[in-house]
Amino acid sequence: MLHNVSIDVLKAAALLMCGTAAAFAVNLLTEIPLPVFPFMGMRGRQRHNSVNRSPVYRILEPALRFTGQLTRHFLPLGVSQSIRRLLVRAGEPLGLDTEEFAGLSLLLTLVVVIPTALFAEGPFRPVVVAAAGVAGLLIPFFRLREAAALRRKNASRELPFAIDLLSLAMSAGADFLSALRLLVQQLDCQRGTLHSEFELVLKKIEFGSTKKNALNLMCERLDCDDIRGFVSTVIQADERGTPLAGTLRIQAGMLRMHQTEKAEQAAARAGLLILGPLTLIFISVFLILIGPFVVKAVRGEIFY
């Protein structure tokens, strides 16, 4: 009897301690200031558009800001710089900053791990839970890399058309900045990658940045060899005072030729890659047709 009473007392004390600790943690968390909603720059525009477009994100956005504030003090500098570089190259998706993206990864990890821990059974349960946690932590990073690669591919595909428009405007007597404004106006209906990048370049120049610095920042954001070649051509022509329209026209033709070669190489690789599935299909059909005869031959029933 006394033993049962002592166990009940210990359980009550443990619950009291857990409640006190939870209340203390909630009190500490409520004292953490919530970061201000970003309004300026590409990140602010992406955040504003995402909040207006998605009701779910509108609900989750304050929680992401809060978790970002929590992870701010625990994120290593090298990881923070890598995440920031990926976010910039991916076009500031959802308007998230580095800490908020890390908080999103942690939230996704909890969302994946908790149900897995509750429903997983068997001797390999710890391995399954650990694998689910690693997957939940890394999936946002893989998605971010895919977004950056897609943005780089889109910029490379849109560049020849943009260079042709710039060359045409400059051949008609416009300078580079005027031609760039006309290009942004023409690309406004498409709202592609280059439209947002060239629009940002124009805004930076209007706010006092040099043309060289604004174009180099665009190179860093896109991380694309074709964009680097275009920016290098513009900067060299500006420094040397050489005509730019004819050079851009030649460069557009070279980019189209390069894209054609890439398409031909991709088509050649596709022919090789399809051999694997075709081989498996052929083996499956062969086994279906020959299998019954082989079984009968093994049993000695082939002539019966």
> In this structure, is residue 253 part of a structural domain?
yes
pLDDT at 29: 40
In a domain, 107, yes or no: yes
- Tell me the percentage of the chain whose pLDDT exceeds 90: 2
Kindly state whether residues 170 and 105 are assigned to the same domain: no
Question: Which residues, at least 6 apart from 211, have a Cβ–Cβ distance to it below 8 Å?
Answer: 176, 177, 205, 234, 235, 238
Q: What is the pLDDT of residue 185?
A: 85
What does the pLDDT look like over 120-155, one tens digit per residue? Answer: 777 888 888 888 888 888 888 899 899 999 999 898
Residue 60 has pLDDT above 60, yes or no: yes
Q: What is the pLDDT of residue 237?
A: 84
pLDDT bin (cut points 50, 70, 90) of residue 30 is: very low
The domain boundary residue, chosen from 101, 119, 137? 119
At residue 5, the pLDDT reads 44
**Looking at the domain assignment, is residue 229 inside a domain?**
yes
Task: Confirm whether 80 is domain-assigned.
Answer: yes
Evaluate if residue 268 carries a pLDDT over 60: yes
Q: What are the helix (H) ranges across the chain?
A: 2-30, 41-53, 55-71, 77-89, 98-119, 125-171, 176-186, 193-206, 211-222, 225-240, 245-273, 275-299
Residues 211 and 260 in one domain: yes
**Residues 247, 233 contacting (CB under 8 angstroms):** yes
Among 98, 119, 140, the domain-final residue is 119
What confidence score (pLDDT) does residue 169 get?
87
| 84 plus 170 within the same structural domain | no
Angle 84-88-91 from CA coordinates, rounded to 5°? 140
Of the candidates 178, 104, 117, 197, the one whose C-alpha atom is nearest the C-alpha of residue 143 is: 104
Instruction: Write down which residue in 100, 119, 138 finishes a domain.
Output: 119
pLDDT given at position 301: 67
Q: How far apart, in Å, are the Cα atoms of 104 and each of 46, 64, 67, 109, 128?
A: 16, 6, 8, 9, 21
Q: Report whether pLDDT(1) > 50.
A: no
Residue 241 sits at the vertex; the CA angle it makes with 239 and 246, to the nearest 5 degrees, is 115
Task: Give the Cα separation of 74 and 88 in Å (integer).
Answer: 21
Asked if the structure places residue 195 within a domain, the reply is yes
- What CATH number is associated with residue 229? 1.20.81
Rounded to whole angstroms, the Cα distance separating 160 from 140 reads 32
158 and 262 in a common domain = yes
The domain of 181 spans 151-271
Indicate if 99 and 175 belong to the same structural domain: no
pLDDT tier at 40 (50, 70, 90 boundaries)?
A: low
Residue in 52, 46, 135, 48 with CA at minimum distance from that of residue 88: 46
Query: Tens of pLDDT along 171-230?
Result: 888 888 888 888 888 877 777 888 888 888 888 888 888 888 988 988 888 888 888 888
pLDDT of the residue at 12: 54
What tokens appear for 134 in the block?
A: 């690693």
Sorting pLDDT into bands at 50, 70 and 90, what band is 303? low
Q: What is the average per-residue pLDDT within 277-296?
A: 81
User: Would 296 be classed as within a structural domain?
Assistant: no
Judged by average pLDDT, the poorest of 55-69, 78-92, 96-110 is 55-69
High-pLDDT (> 70) share of the chain, %: 84
Give the span between the Cα atoms of 84 and 80, in whole angstroms: 6
Q: Given this model, what pLDDT does residue 304 score?
A: 56
Tokens, residue 185: 């106006």
Say yes or no: 249 and 158 in one domain: yes
Least reliable range by pLDDT among 43-47, 154-158, 239-243, 282-286: 43-47
| Residues 39 and 109 grouped into a single domain | yes
Instruction: Give the up-direction half-sphere exposure of residue 11: CA atoms within 13 A in the CB hemisphere.
Output: 6
Residue 93 sits in the same domain as residue 159: no
Total tally of structural domains belonging to the chain:
2
Q: What is the DSSP letter of 75?
A: S
Q: Which residues contact 188 (CB under 8 A, 6 or more apart)?
A: 195
With beta carbons less than 8 A apart as the criterion, state whether 99 and 43 touch: no
Read off the pLDDT of each residue in 37-54 and give the average, rounded to a whole number.
71
48, 108: one domain: yes
For the record, the structure tokens of 243 come out as 């005509």
Considering the domain architecture, whether residues 162 and 102 belong to the same structural domain is answered as: no
Amino acid identity of residue 258, one-letter, is H
- Nearest 5°: the CA angle 182, 184, 186 is 70
What's the rounded mean pLDDT across residues 70-77?
79
Confidence (pLDDT) at 242: 78
Residue 12 placed within a domain:
no
Please, what is the Cα angle at 160 between 154 and 165, to 5 degrees?
Answer: 115
| Average of per-residue pLDDT across 279-299 | 80
Residue 164 and residue 69 share a domain = no
pTM for the model: 0.71
pLDDT exceeds 80 at position 31: no
Let me know whether 91 and 169 are in one domain: no
If you average pLDDT over every residue of the chain, what do you get?
79
In a domain, 136, yes or no: no
How many CB atoms sit inside 10 A of residue 79's CB?
11
